[in-house]
Chains A and B, each alone.
Chain A
Amino acid sequence: MKRTPFFHTVASIARKDLQVELRSRELISSMGLFALLSILVFSFALELNRIARIEAVSGVLWVTIVFASLLGLNRSMAMERENGGLDALLIAPVNRAAIFFGKMAGNLVFMLTVAVVLLPVINVLYDISLFRPWLLFTLLLGIVGFATVGTLLATITVQTRARESLLPILMLPVALPLLLGALRASASVLNDAPLEQWVAWPQIMLVLDVIFIILGFLLFEFVIED
């Protein structure tokens, strides 16, 4: 049987996810609302002076992004399963890895959208300018990594008994080195530290992203058998 070309499959799966989302707005609205609430809760919980706010803001940003991603990943895979979409994809004569990259691209777009909404809000509430090239680059690296491991692990957890509750437990330890790098890098950017002091962190994040993408590529076929 003739297989659909790899990138064509990736693009169509991602387009399908985006189209569903454009019509239902279910994921973005729940992720976005959760993120905004989390920012508010943090700003109440940490009533900080200006210096302490600079230290805390990268933590607030990343914790919010990670938890909002968990919310979105759970929903996205659960929807796929409820509607039988995953089964249909498995019958289709397409490369399994292409399914992985398609789902990952969709999740990536959702997370990036939430981050883009989040930045100006944090900017205003914490009175710190976040629109710096290196911070945006770090954000991109971090979110690519979360989307990659998240897609792989959400595909696993959606097939288990505990479902939603298992994803954070599985994903947080695995994503931790990435989160560590992201936190260090963005805190340094916001503190205007000299580049050579922290440039190792974005480099580590880049390496981690590559490793996660390779592992996702290799392992995804074992996650969606039968």
Chain B
Amino acid sequence: MSTMDQATPMMTESAAPERAAGTPRLLVVLTIATVLGVIFGLYMGLVYAGTDVMQGEVQRLFYIHMPVYFGAALALGVTVVGGIQYLRTRQVKWDTLALAGVEVGIALAIVNLVTGSIWARPIWNTWWNWDPRLTSAAITILTYAAYLMLRAGIENPDTRRRFAAVYGILAIVTVVITVVIIRIRPDTIHPVVVGPTATGTEAMVQGDFELDATAGVGAALGINMIVWAILVPITLMWYRIRLENVAERVQMMRAKYLES
């Protein structure tokens, strides 16, 4: 037992070198940049950009609403990369990456849905409707909730990682196809800000606005795009990966001490 005790700290350190080094400097920089970016983005969206003539203050939600959608897409895209790489190399780190992508993706997709809902209440006079775009967003969240259910249902870690990778690949295919199908359908009342505006649907779209109609809209959107679509998902995923590594190490240490 006493020899065990002496050996353990060294073994743990060699198994996980980043622990001794503490938080990597790049992550510290990234965290600071993200926090400052969020504050600056909020300032740009809430103060700097002019108030929308038609919709008033509630339009400011858009500066979070749209960038966060792309942030979720980035995170869920990372999941596919992680899944494919895991199936090829069988290295645990790729599965951890995939898991981080799903959790961050779900969180950001929920922010997207909630901000949209709050915006829709005054503009569409309803919290929710079964507009194709709203439906596809809801389906995306449910698909990845199923992914997490699947992970929770498997005890063997290797099987869990393998199945999660397979389902992650299957999930992105259907999510992308659903989004594509729904985007080409003309009967949406959701404002089309990015991408081709379907001609002949202007009368149906409710709550549309021009990107350059109000002062500072472009700048505020650009800043928030960098913050919410790039900085926030990457920072959150990084922390999630570190958390998973710590949890893994706790598991291993517990198993080791319970055995001895």
Residues in chain A within 8 A of chain B (CB atoms): 149, 152-153, 156-157, 159-162, 166, 169-170, 173-177, 180-181, 204, 208, 211, 215, 219, 222-223, 225
Q: CA separation between A222 and B87, bound complex, in Å? A: 8
Closest to B184 in A: A200
Kindly name the residue among B142, B143, B153, B178 whose own CB sees the greatest number of chain A CB atoms within 10 A.
B153
Which residues of B have CB within 8 Å of A180?
A: 178, 181
Q: Given contacts A173-B143, A223-B163, could you give 5 more A-B pairs where the C-beta distance is less than 8 Å?
A: A160-B150, A161-B153, A176-B174, A181-B181, A204-B177
Pair B153/A166 contact, Cβ less than 8 Å: yes
Pair B170/A222 contact, Cβ less than 8 Å: no
What are the 6 closest A-B residue pairs judged by CB atoms, nearest first?
A: A173-B143, A160-B153, A162-B153, A177-B177, A177-B178, A169-B146
Interface presence of B155 (CB below 8 A): yes
Which residues of B have CB within 8 Å of A176?
A: 139, 174, 178
B166-181 residues with Cβ-Cβ distance < 8 A to A are: 166-167, 169-171, 173-174, 177-178, 181
Q: Is the interface of B mostly helix, strand, loop or mixed?
A: helix
Q: CA separation between A77 and B177, bound complex, in Å? A: 28
Known: A161-B155, A222-B87, A225-B162. A170 touches B146 (CB 8 A): yes
Which residues of B have CB within 8 Å of A161?
A: 153-155
Residue from B139, B142, B143, B170 in contact with A215 in the complex, judged by beta carbons closer than 8 Å: B170
Interface presence of B165 (CB below 8 A): yes
Which residues of B have CB within 8 Å of A219?
A: 166, 169-170
Known: A156-B150, A160-B154, A208-B177. A173 touches B166 (CB 8 A): no
Q: Mark B142-156, 1 if CB is under 8 A from A, else 0.
A: 110010011001110
Residue from A152, A181, A225 in contact with B170 in the complex, judged by beta carbons closer than 8 Å: A152
Which residues of B have CB within 8 Å of A208?
A: 177
CB of B236, distance to nearest CB on chain A (Å): 23
Q: CA separation between A157 and B165, bound complex, in Å? A: 14
Which residues of B have CB within 8 Å of A173?
A: 139, 142-143, 146, 171, 174
Q: Mark B36-73, 1 if CB is under 8 A from A, else 0.
A: 00000000000000000000000000000000000000
Q: CA separation between A161 and B150, bound complex, in Å? A: 9
Interface presence of B159 (CB below 8 A): yes
Q: CA separation between A167 and B125, bound complex, in Å? A: 37
Q: Can you show 14 pairs from A to B with CB atoms below 8 A apart?
A: A156-B166, A159-B163, A161-B153, A162-B153, A166-B149, A173-B171, A173-B174, A176-B178, A177-B177, A180-B178, A215-B173, A219-B169, A222-B162, A225-B162
